[in-house]
Each structure stands twice: as C-alpha cells, then as structure tokens.
Amino acid sequence: MAYSAVGPALYDERWSDDPGEPARVDTAETSVLDPRDTVDPAADHTQAAEGTETRRGTLDVGLLVLRAAVGAAALAHGLQKLFGWWNGPGLDGFEDFLVNAADPSIGFDSSAAGWLSVLGAVSEAAGGALLILGLLTPVAASAVLGVMLVAATFKVTLAGGLWYFTGSGVGIEYEVTLICAALAILLTGPGRLALDYGRGWTTRPLWGSLGLVVVSVAAAVTIWVLFNGTNPLDSPGNPAP
C-alpha cells in the first residue's frame, strides 16, 4: 500500500495508463462518512423522549374528568355561599356560620368573619370555575386546597372530635376528598385539554406547583391561628341540639 498526501492510496488494476503498472486510486475521500449518515446519540434520545411525550393515551381525558368533577363541586358550594343558590346560606348565613353563635369561643373572630366569608366563598367559586376551564390551574387548585383545609379544620372543631364519614353530619369525608384531588391536580398539571395548554405546568409541573402547595398550607394555618386559634383535636364542640 502506498500513501498519498491526504491518506492511504489503494492500487486498483482496473484503470491504468500502463498495462504493466497498476493505477493508483486515492480513496481518502471515498472513505469519509457523510455527516448525514452519522447518528447523534443525544439527538436520538431527545427524539425518543419527545415521542414518548406525545403518547399520553387517555391521561389528558382523565385529568379533564378530575378537574371538571372537583371544579363543579367547588363552584356549586361557592355559589351557595355567595348567592344562597340551591338552599345555600348566602354571605350573611356563611358569616354567621363562621362566628358560630352556638359557641363563639370556638368560632372565628366576629370582626374578621365578614371578609373571611367573602374570601372563602370567592376562592371556592372562582377556583372551581377555573379548574373546569383549565385556566390558571395551579392557582385555582391551590385556592380550593386552602379553602378545604380550613373547612376540614373548622368541621372537626365544631364536632368536638375527628370523624371521617359524613353519615353523622360532622365527618370530613367530602373535604378530605377535595383536598386530595386538588393536591393531585397541582402535582400533575391540568393536562392538554385545558386553556392552559402550552404552558410548562400543563404536563410537567415542578417547583412552582410545589411552592403553591406550601403557600396554600401556610395561608390556611395562618388564617386559622390568627382568627380562630382553637385546637381542633381538643375542642369541646358545639352543644348537642
């Protein structure tokens, strides 16, 4: 084998000016791979990940059903408190409920009950509506989460103990279900069948959603400590009717 200036040169007897002398064919160029034929492992991995992301099956439909169920429940209860619809208490009745005339010592501060009733009703109704639409979903889910945390705590306080099932009228089954569902939506995102589609939190929520969980819990604890302060597990509860 002979070498040219650019690489090895191979002898090929098929072409020659002198029949007795083999022609020298420089194959350096022919040995170079076309860059289009090479495989980039990183690019191949990225394409595979994107392909996996597009194959979500019925996940987005399931998230839509979850959002609609939680949102409808929260919206209906919020409208009951705001406008008294469907035999609801309205804002005045909700304020009286927070004060708890049967035993004001375990109710909310009467000076704060007015604006707390508005805040709770609006948060519940607006959060429910936004969940159904899939719009500003993390904020909506965190609003419902915060309201349900306060509601569950107040119900335990009025009952004078922790009861889960609602058959007795004092259980927190409903509130716990909505707490878990709102938390699930916060941690999974609303899915692609939502007005939030295209935002990062739609399919891959992370630190922002975790931060809103912390904010919801902190807000609920702050409102409870500042405006009620009762230990729900050591409450005497309301007197029996």
Q: What is the pLDDT of residues 102-129, one digit of tens each?
A: 999 999 999 999 999 999 999 999 999 9
CB 202 within 8 A of CB 194: yes
Asked if pLDDT for residue 9 goes beyond 50, the answer is no
What confidence category does residue 22 fall into, taking pLDDT thresholds of 50, 70 and 90? Answer: low
pLDDT band at residue 216 using 50, 70 and 90 as cut-offs: very high
Instruction: Express each pLDDT in 45-92 by its tens digit.
Output: 444 444 445 677 899 999 999 999 999 999 999 999 999 999 999 999
* Under 8 Å between Cβ of 149 and 216: yes
Which residues are within 8 A (CB) of 151 and not within 5 positions of it... i.e. 6 or more apart? 120, 175
CA distance 65 to 46: 31
Q: What is the pLDDT of residue 13?
A: 47
Which residues share a beta bridge with 99?
A: none
Query: pLDDT band at residue 95, thresholds of 50, 70 and 90?
Result: very high
Tell me what the pLDDT averaged over the chain comes to: 84
> Which residue, 168, 169, 179, 188, is CA-closest to 124?
179
- How far apart CA 147 and CA 73 sit, in angstroms, is 13
Q: Where is pLDDT greater, at 120 or 12? A: 120
- Taking CA atoms, 62 is separated from 3, 189, 193, in Å, by 67, 12, 10
Helices 137-159 and 173-188 pack at an angle, to 10 degrees, of: 160
Task: Write down the pTM of the prediction.
Answer: 0.77
